[in-house]
A and B are shown apart, each in its own frame.
Chain A
Amino acid sequence: MAYVPLADRDHEMEMHHPHSWVTKYVWSQDHKVIAVQYGSIAVFTGVVGLVLSLLFRMQLGFPDTANFVDPNFYYQAVTMHGMIMVIYLLTALFLGGFGNYLVPLMCGARDMVFPFMNMLSVWVFLLSVIILMASFFVGGGPTGAGWTLYPPQTTLAGTPGHDLGIILMLASLAVFIVAFTMGGLNYVVTVLQYRCRGMTMMRLPLSIWGIFVATVLGLFAFPALLVAAVMMLFDTILGTSFFMPAIIEAGTPLDYDGGSPILFQHLFWFFGHPEVYIVALPAFGLVSDVLSCHARKNIFGYRMMVWAIIAIGGLSFIVWAHHMYVSGMNPYFGFFFATTTLIIAVPTALKVYNWVLTLWEGDIRLNAPMYFAIGFIFTFIHGGLTGLFLGNVVIDLPLSDTYFVVAHFHMVMGVSPILVVFAAIYHWYPKMSGRMYHEGMAKLHFWLTFLGAYAIYLPMHYLGFLGVPRRYYALGTTDFIPQSAQDLNATITVAALIVGISQILFFINIIWSLRNGEKADPNPWGAASLEWQTPDTPPAHGNWGDKLPTVYRWAYDYSVPGAHEDFIPQNTPESEEPTVQEEHFDPDQDKSLADI
């Protein structure tokens, strides 16, 4: 098989020019349209998740005022909220949304490698969302087993949605994994194979590094969820005993014997922990680019930022059992997993330091994307530090399964990534739409979201210190929880309602600005990375007009001494540049991989 150089394929990319509205916006193979489709479906699902959270927060803050939130619905809402936010909102939005939009543009490609598979990915994703939403309308409703779906509880009569709900949930996850794999192979191969001339891996913006490593993590981690889901489906439908030991359901012994519930937990968290970084790494990458651009300064310590992303990605596969310190597994595992978990703190802390050092001696432009990015650093520091409590196995004993855990992970993988999502949407909005968003409204949106979210989660840590257990429909009476804890709960609910409602500002802003926003320059922020240098704004199908760009420098040439402007785009040649520096092409290199 002869190697087909990419340049020769250039003309082939013209294959799928859309001919009608339907092929342009519905069955589109353009990565930018697919990105918007992915993002819209994810955000729509996320709004469902948000509304669910407000409903169960009503029950927690003001018990029995919202009558239809009975115990059954409470557990269903909590479960669906968790699953929706982690998988269907954040994973899909960061990789399917931002990944799709930015990967070809930042790499200097015309599109993804396999545009048809990319299109398939978004429709299969939609199918998984439909299956998920269908579980709200079947008998018994959606599963209420907690988003971790621990057996044997998931399929027993005492759990809401134990019949159809859980089957639809598992089916939806399996379908989602198929969609993700199709998309994920695209992102990975595009980054590896379809970069434009001169775009070496180390010239890629950190956004791409984050998305790339997160996708690789996803490709290796989601199989664990798939395996667990398939085995659980077998247990449920076919009566096997992979995870099901001998148990009693409402007084009747069931036909199971010998299975291991802890095996499921290992599989689940072998997926579940990398999943945290599948969400976090793209956020790390995107926020790095937003910070660097608006600080008018290169991202500080680019190399170590890349290493940290890779190190975190690698380490994330050997820390999973820190979710299982009190699961009844062999307690000696605790020593190993506590150590690996706390080691992750080092590269993560380095990233935080470098973000802050990027601000140092910068020329910080305090607009809405920058507000969100700096807000992210603050919430991420908070969430990261509380992680050191829970990762340190012995502190997990009192705090596990309390509101401290809820507060921690919402801070670190709820609030923080969402702040990055907003930073990124405001930041790239001018390129995506050709219009500016409304700055004042965006800032108001920031203040309400940022301060509101902190008002929710800071007090919640203290409910955890106090020992208030999570996943309780009602606290009832205890000897150690004072009445004032209920006041705290009510405060949290009020803050949650404010934050929830204030998201309307965001939707108004991006929809209103589509028509009424100020016309945007092709590169309004003076950004150096490649996606801002497209000939058209918004970029046309094929991204680069007649000729693919050539890259001459890294993505962070901001405030270079001696330059006319405070940024130099990646595709600006240097005057003293030797015309073309030919490197000898040796087909014997990388032979090992070429011949697999």
Chain B
Amino acid sequence: MALAVVIFVLVVVTVLFQFIQAVNGDWYFTDIAADWGLIDTTINITLWVTGAVFILVNLFMAYCVYKFRQKEGHKAVYEPENAKLEVGLSAITTVGVIAMLAPGLFVWAAFVNVPEDATEYEVLGQQWQWQFRYPGADGMLGAADTALVTESNPFGINSEDPNGQDDVVVNGPDMRLPVGQPVKALLRSNDVLHNYTVTQFRVKMDLVPGLISYLWFEPTQEGTYDILCEELCGIGHFVMRGSITIQSQADFDAWLAQQPTFAETQNQVAGNAAAGQAQYAACAACHGQQGEGNQALNAPKLAGQQAWYVERQLNYFKEGVRGGDGDTFGQQMTAFANMLTTDQDIKNVAAYIESLPDVPADSTVSGDIANGYDIYDRNCAACHLDDGSGTWYTDAPKLAGMSDWYFVTQISNFRAGIRGLHSSDDYGEQMVAMATAMADLEEIQDVAAYINTLR
């Protein structure tokens, strides 16, 4: 009896919940931003068909439980089968299945066959970030190969291929597309499986190392949307984020023209350490002649840090990505970073710092090394490597032999939201999430103490 009532109530609750969400709910499909309304239609057809079955069968069952519950003097009816009824029900089910499947296959055919006028772009995934490539004026993407990937050629573009020279490369997680233009995304991975998902576009597809997969869509709404990785790709899976901005063709063209081509990235002048030495003079006041750092002045050790990281941080200070509210010491850097007026200046300084002798910094932090090892090995080593040397590939700076007190303040800043939450700090956001692996100051110090053993 109670069971019959409960099943009835559950049916009502389920239907109401669906109804409320579908009409005006927080937890329902996002507003669609691509020309895939057909997918939503298919979903709605399926919702109606399955909803009807759900209501009818469950209410019938609730009725049976109520009506035929055991009573004195009542006896069940002996009826081994009713082939007609069973065949009839199967036939109705088949009709329902066809009603759902047929439109589904029709829409799938539209997804599989890319329209002729779709323009191509490439999505490259690697642990744990996105990069993008546009074909340039010739409309053709150059050949690329994982074996050719280096720090200066992160796409592994074959420099022999003339099609590749004018490819526009976006070495960061933010991409753009023009509205109203069908596009075909070619998906490639440098390491593991990833999945390129923009929820508002409704379509997604895995990136598979060793082959090129694809999907296509036509953006219909201008705006900026999240790109999420939706295929488990390792410990950083949940921080593998990007964004896509849909804008007018003119805005898009203007943006694209500002991005470097592959040829330009290959022909960039390398940092000149000799030129950088002069500019480093201003840095030396705090960071020391040999870049050894000075805790009293809150200046971390620089010598030994990888050039790409130094460059990126200097740019961040210049652009106000770092040194914002709450970061009192970081704010001091802004003025100094602004002294480096051109990109080349920054490169030169970074090159000079790289040339300085790398003497491990003194240990100033102590803690439980065993616990520190445990946390580091489980969560940090995936990017910063087992020996703490860091790598451009995962955008992880060197930690071993660097200033341990600086590590403690920066992790504390990440945890407090002082660093990493700026919308342009694409990689800092990953650290905000990962820093939660250290529960409190004590654990941060444990990890610092462990890193001190890695020099």
By a beta-carbon cutoff of 8 Å, the part of chain A in contact with chain B is 63-64, 67, 70-73, 75, 140-141, 144-146, 150, 152-153, 156-160, 245-251, 253, 258-262, 295-298, 300-304, 326-328, 331-332, 334-335, 338-339, 342-343, 345-346, 349-350, 352-354, 356-357, 359-366, 371, 374-375, 377-378, 381-382, 385-386, 388-389, 392-395, 397-398, 400-402, 451, 454, 458-459, 462-463, 465-467, 469-476, 478-480, 482, 484-485, 488, 556, 558-561, 566
Given contacts A72-B437, A378-B58, A474-B238, contact A398 B394 (CB under 8 A): no
Q: Which of B359-392 contact A (CB under 8 A)?
A: 375, 377-379, 381-383, 385-386, 391-392
Closest Cβ of chain B to A67, distance in Å, is 4
Task: Name which of B104-112, B132-140, B277-285, B287-295 contacts chain A.
Answer: B104-112
Q: Which residues of B contact A158 (CB under 8 A)?
A: 127-128, 191-192, 233-236, 382-383, 394
Q: Which residues of A contact B93 (CB under 8 A)?
A: 345-346, 349-350
Q: Which of B52-78 contact A (CB under 8 A)?
A: 53-54, 57-58, 60-61, 64-65, 68-71, 74-78
Q: Which residues of A contact B383 (CB under 8 A)?
A: 158, 250
A251 & B235 in contact (Cβ 8 Å cutoff): no
B437 & A361 in contact (Cβ 8 Å cutoff): no
Given contacts A398-B204, A401-B230, A474-B436, contact A150 B193 (CB under 8 A): yes
B199 & A480 in contact (Cβ 8 Å cutoff): yes
A70 & B61 in contact (Cβ 8 Å cutoff): no
Task: Name which of B206-214, B253-261, B263-271, B296-304 contacts chain A.
Answer: B206-214
Report the separation of the CA atoms of residues A331 and B236 in the bound assembly, to the nearest whole angstrom.
Answer: 28
Q: Which residues of B contact A363 (CB under 8 A)?
A: 68, 70-71, 74-76
Select one of A261, A297, A377, A480 contacting B209, CB under 8 A.
A261
Report the separation of the CA atoms of residues A262 and B189 in the bound assembly, to the nearest whole angstrom.
Answer: 13
Which residue of chain A has the shortest Cβ distance to B236 in the bound complex? A158
Interface flag for B147 (CB, 8 Å): yes
11 intermolecular pairs with C-beta atoms under 8 Å apart: A72-B235, A246-B209, A302-B80, A360-B68, A363-B71, A366-B69, A392-B42, A393-B104, A394-B104, A465-B29, A467-B30
Closest Cβ of chain A to B76, distance in Å, is 4
Q: Which residues of B contact A386 (CB under 8 A)?
A: 50
Q: Which residues of B contact A385 (CB under 8 A)?
A: 50, 53-54
Q: Which residues of A contact B407 (CB under 8 A)?
A: none
A381 & B238 in contact (Cβ 8 Å cutoff): no
B61 & A377 in contact (Cβ 8 Å cutoff): yes
Supply 18 further A-B pairs (C-beta < 8 A) apart from A246-B145, A363-B76, A381-B53. A64-B436, A150-B192, A248-B146, A250-B383, A250-B393, A301-B82, A302-B81, A327-B193, A350-B89, A357-B85, A363-B75, A377-B61, A395-B39, A395-B104, A398-B29, A398-B39, A476-B238, A559-B75
List the 6 closest A-B pairs by CB distance, nearest first: A245-B210, A251-B393, A158-B234, A328-B213, A467-B199, A72-B378
Interface flag for B205 (CB, 8 Å): yes
Given contacts A245-B210, A250-B391, A388-B50, contact A346 B204 (CB under 8 A): no
Q: Which of B201-239 contact A (CB under 8 A)?
A: 202-211, 213, 224-226, 228-239
Interface flag for B337 (CB, 8 Å): no
Select one of A144, A354, A394 contacting B86, CB under 8 A.
A354
Interface flag for B79 (CB, 8 Å): yes
Q: Which residues of B contact A326 (CB under 8 A)?
A: 195, 204-206
Interface centre among A251, A338, A382 (most CB of B within 10 A): A251
Given contacts A359-B65, A381-B58, A397-B111, contact A467 B207 (CB under 8 A): no
Given contacts A70-B436, A388-B46, contact A381 B191 (CB under 8 A): no
Select one of A247, A366, A401 contacting B146, CB under 8 A.
A247
Interface flag for B403 (CB, 8 Å): no
B237 & A472 in contact (Cβ 8 Å cutoff): yes
Interface centre among A360, A556, A559 (most CB of B within 10 A): A360
Q: Tell me how many residues of B have a C-beta within 8 Å of chain A.
A: 123
A328 & B207 in contact (Cβ 8 Å cutoff): yes
Which residue of chain B has the shortest Cβ distance to A140 in the bound complex? B377
Select one of B69, B86, B375, B437 contacting A353, CB under 8 A.
B86
Closest Cβ of chain B to A261, distance in Å, is 6
Given contacts A261-B208, A352-B57, A356-B64, contact A484 B26 (CB under 8 A): yes
Q: Which residues of B contact A297 (CB under 8 A)?
A: 76-79
Select one of A64, A152, A303, A364 contacting B65, CB under 8 A.
A364
Interface flag for B90 (CB, 8 Å): yes
Closest Cβ of chain B to A222, distance in Å, is 24
A251 & B104 in contact (Cβ 8 Å cutoff): no
B226 & A479 in contact (Cβ 8 Å cutoff): yes
B232 & A146 in contact (Cβ 8 Å cutoff): yes
Interface flag for B129 (CB, 8 Å): no
Interface flag for B25 (CB, 8 Å): yes
A334 & B26 in contact (Cβ 8 Å cutoff): no
Which residue of chain B has the shortest Cβ distance to A344 in the bound complex? B97
Chain B 234-255 interface mask (CB, 8 Å, partner A; 1/0): 1111110100000000000000
Given contacts A253-B149, A326-B206, A356-B61, contact A349 B234 (CB under 8 A): no
Q: Which residues of B contact A401 (CB under 8 A)?
A: 195, 197, 204, 230-231
A249 & B191 in contact (Cβ 8 Å cutoff): yes
A261 & B65 in contact (Cβ 8 Å cutoff): no
Closest Cβ of chain B to A302, distance in Å, is 7
B203 & A332 in contact (Cβ 8 Å cutoff): no
Interface flag for B339 (CB, 8 Å): no
Interface flag for B94 (CB, 8 Å): yes
A480 & B200 in contact (Cβ 8 Å cutoff): yes
Given contacts A327-B206, A360-B64, A362-B64, contact A374 B7 (CB under 8 A): yes
Closest Cβ of chain B to A248, distance in Å, is 5
Q: Which residues of A contact B231 (CB under 8 A)?
A: 150, 401
Select one of B71, B145, B232 contacting A153, CB under 8 A.
B232
Interface flag for B101 (CB, 8 Å): yes
Select one of A251, A339, A479 contacting B224, CB under 8 A.
A479
Report the separation of the CA atoms of residues A304 and B57 in the bound assembly, to the nearest whole angstrom.
Answer: 19
Given contacts A374-B3, A397-B39, contact A558 B76 (CB under 8 A): yes
A395 & B69 in contact (Cβ 8 Å cutoff): no
Q: Which residues of A contact B78 (CB under 8 A)?
A: 297-298, 558-561
B90 & A150 in contact (Cβ 8 Å cutoff): no
Report the separation of the CA atoms of residues A165 and B224 in the bound assembly, to the nearest whole angstrom.
Answer: 40
Interface flag for B28 (CB, 8 Å): yes
Q: Which residues of A contact B346 (CB under 8 A)?
A: none
Q: Which residues of B contact A247 (CB under 8 A)?
A: 146, 190-192, 209-210
Closest Cβ of chain A to B321, distance in Å, is 16
Which residue of chain A has the shortest Cβ distance to B1 in the bound complex? A366
Interface flag for B23 (CB, 8 Å): no
Interface centre among B29, B76, B436, B437 (most CB of A within 10 A): B76
Interface centre among A140, A356, A451 (most CB of B within 10 A): A356
Report the separation of the CA atoms of residues A24 and B419 in the bound assembly, to the nearest whole angstrom.
Answer: 65
Q: Which residues of B contact A331 (CB under 8 A)?
A: 108, 111-112
Select one of A339, A377, A476 contacting B101, CB under 8 A.
A339
A153 & B192 in contact (Cβ 8 Å cutoff): yes
Closest Cβ of chain A to B227, distance in Å, is 10
Which residue of chain A has the shortest Cβ distance to B393 in the bound complex? A251
A402 & B80 in contact (Cβ 8 Å cutoff): no
Q: Which residues of B contact A335 (CB under 8 A)?
A: 105, 108-109
Q: Which residues of A contact B210 (CB under 8 A)?
A: 245-247, 258-261
Report the separation of the CA atoms of residues A386 and B437 in the bound assembly, to the nearest whole angstrom.
Answer: 36
Q: Which residues of A contact B439 (CB under 8 A)?
A: 64, 67
Q: Which residues of B contact A253 (CB under 8 A)?
A: 146-147, 149
Report the separation of the CA atoms of residues A249 and B190 in the bound assembly, to the nearest whole angstrom.
Answer: 9
Q: Which residues of A contact B205 (CB under 8 A)?
A: 326, 328
Report the separation of the CA atoms of residues A371 and B3 in the bound assembly, to the nearest whole angstrom.
Answer: 7
A328 & B436 in contact (Cβ 8 Å cutoff): no
